[in-house]
């Protein structure tokens, strides 16, 4: 075995490619698209029979008409927009729905979404494994931005076992802290500090910017820090608490902040026209994303619709893209309306009409992305 030496991993000043992943990238593995999430919540027995799920569903039934037989449901943006109106106006909706209760219902709905998305995440993704292998065959100077909460992208990265790269979420994680109270969590390597690796291995740092948060991030609103729990994403629907398991004896326990004992909160940004972009972690990620966009020679959007509810993403790219940066959009949509959304942020756009998995199976299409 090669001798371990200390190395400092650094980034080149420019990035060959920045990938931007939308819901269409995780959809082949069964992660629901946004329009499918609300029907799944309303039809899920575990959510319907839980304490927090029942309150969220009652609110929807009381305030939104829908027809499940005809598959007609309100948009998630509309539900969260309605909740946010009363929260920002500090108004009660009724005697049943005070503003304090509405704040709780919003958190309960977020946790119900966390539960639904996580149902499809506890498995290997052959598509993302193929993505990582294909990308590293072409270059090791790239980064990934994703608007997805699921963790399939990172789980698929395990095929490299630290040989090619180390994931850099570009935020400070509690896992990097060295105090005794963090001993069970500080297994995660900080790629921005010198690390010990075999002398004959030269890994690179790889930025994965999760601009809408992640199922495996636990946020403490007391110390404003985030704990990464790579394998523990479960949520107790009756108590609204995050749960984990001890290893190897599989004893269940509740996650609380190692710093101050505070219950963790979800760190996923919901589909709404009003997003909490001043949240410290999200604000930091948006700044990091801006720097990556400016450093990119090419930006490849995969399975991302550039939704009207994501005006902050549209503004981010509109402000930061250089005129000479080449844009490639990989999507199955061919409508003029869809194309105009991308032409609104850059004139230098090429469209590849393909699903994510078909792109990776085609040498011709893959060459277009990387050439």
Q: Report the CATH number that the domain containing residue 295 is assigned in CATH.
A: 3.40.50.1220
Regarding whether 214 and 90 lie in a shared domain, the answer is no
Integer Cα distance of 98 and 355 in angstroms: 45
Regarding whether 179 and 141 lie in a shared domain, the answer is yes
| Percent of the chain surpassing pLDDT 90 | 71
Regarding whether 306 and 361 lie in a shared domain, the answer is yes
Regarding whether 157 and 23 lie in a shared domain, the answer is yes
Mean pLDDT of the chain: 91
Do strands 241-245 and 252-254 pair parallel, antiparallel, or not at all (unpaired)?
antiparallel
Residue with tokens 């599989």: 250
The Cβ of residue 220 has, within 10 Å, a number of other Cβ atoms equal to 22
Regarding whether 158 and 10 lie in a shared domain, the answer is yes
> Is residue 198 in a domain?
yes
The Cβ of residue 6 has, within 10 Å, a number of other Cβ atoms equal to 9
Which of these three, 96, 119, 142, is where a domain ends?
Answer: 119
Regarding whether 149 and 106 lie in a shared domain, the answer is no
- pLDDT (tens digit per residue) in 224-252: 999 998 877 788 888 888 887 766 666 77
pLDDT given at position 371: 81
CA dihedral 158, 161, 166, 172 (to 10 degrees): 70
> Is residue 236 in a domain?
no
Q: Residue 319: which domain range?
A: 4-30+124-220+268-370
- pLDDT (tens digit per residue) in 65-81: 999 999 999 999 899 99
> Is residue 262 in a domain?
no
For residue 256, pLDDT beyond 70: yes
Q: Which two tokens stand for residue 307?
A: 């939704």
Q: Say which DSSP state 274 is in.
A: S
For residue 1, pLDDT beyond 60: no
Which of these three, 88, 119, 150, is where a domain ends?
Answer: 119
- pLDDT (tens digit per residue) in 119-161: 877 778 999 999 999 999 999 999 999 999 999 999 999 887 6
> Is residue 139 in a domain?
yes
pLDDT given at position 249: 65
For residue 331, pLDDT beyond 70: yes
Integer Cα distance of 97 and 92 in angstroms: 6
Regarding whether 173 and 42 lie in a shared domain, the answer is no
| Among the ranges given (52-56, 196-200, 343-347), the one the predictor scored with the smallest mean pLDDT | 196-200
Regarding whether 46 and 139 lie in a shared domain, the answer is no
> Is residue 238 in a domain?
no
pLDDT given at position 100: 96
pLDDT given at position 247: 63
> Is residue 13 in a domain?
yes
Regarding whether 319 and 349 lie in a shared domain, the answer is yes
- pLDDT (tens digit per residue) in 277-296: 888 999 999 999 999 999 99
What's the number of domains the chain is made of? 2
Regarding whether 159 and 72 lie in a shared domain, the answer is no
**Given pLDDT bands bounded at 50, 70 and 90, which one contains residue 309?**
confident
**Given pLDDT bands bounded at 50, 70 and 90, which one contains residue 178?**
confident
Regarding whether 345 and 207 lie in a shared domain, the answer is yes
Regarding whether 103 and 129 lie in a shared domain, the answer is no
């Amino acid at each position: 075995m090669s001798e371990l030496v200390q190395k400092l991993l650094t980034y080149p000043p420019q990035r060959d490619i920045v990938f931007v992943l939308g819901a269409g990238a995780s959809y082949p593995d069964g992660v629901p698209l946004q329009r499918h999430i609300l029907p799944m919540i309303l039809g899920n027995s575990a959510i319907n029979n839980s304490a927090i799920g029942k309150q969220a569903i009652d609110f929807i039934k009381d305030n939104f008409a829908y027809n499940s037989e005809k598959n007609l449901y309100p948009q998630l943006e509309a539900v969260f927009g309605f909740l946010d109106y009363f929260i920002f106006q500090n108004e009660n909706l009724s005697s049943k729905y005070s503003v304090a209760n509405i704040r709780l219902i919003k958190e309960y709905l977020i946790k119900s979404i966390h539960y639904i998305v996580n149902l499809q995440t506890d498995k290997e993704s052959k598509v993302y494994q193929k993505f990582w292998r294909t990308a590293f065959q072409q270059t090791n100077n790239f980064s990934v931005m994703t608007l997805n909460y699921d963790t399939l992208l990172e789980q698929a990265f395990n095929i490299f076992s630290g040989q090619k790269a180390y994931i850099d979420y570009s935020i400070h994680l509690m896992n990097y802290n060295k105090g005794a109270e963090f001993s069970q969590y500080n297994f995660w390597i900080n790629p921005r500090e010198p690390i010990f690796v075999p002398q004959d291995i030269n890994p690179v740092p790889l930025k994965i910017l999760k601009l809408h948060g992640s199922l495996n991030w636990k946020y403490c609103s007391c110390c404003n820090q985030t704990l990464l729990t790579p394998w523990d994403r479960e949520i107790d629907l009756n108590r609204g608490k995050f749960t984990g398991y001890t290893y190897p004896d599989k004893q269940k326990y509740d996650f609380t902040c190692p710093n101050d004992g505070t219950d963790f909160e979800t760190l996923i940004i919901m589909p709404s026209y009003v997003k909490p972009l001043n949240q410290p972690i999200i604000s930091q990620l948006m700044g990091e994303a801006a720097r990556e966009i400016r450093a990119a020679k090419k930006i490849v959007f995969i399975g991302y619709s550039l939704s009207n509810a994501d005006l902050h993403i549209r503004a981010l790219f509109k402000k930061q893209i250089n005129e000479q940066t080449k844009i490639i959009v990989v999507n199955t949509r061919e409508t003029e309306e869809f194309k105009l959304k991308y032409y609104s942020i850059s004139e230098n756009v090429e469209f590849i009409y393909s699903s994510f998995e078909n792109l990776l199976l085609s040498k011709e299409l893959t060459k277009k992305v990387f050439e």
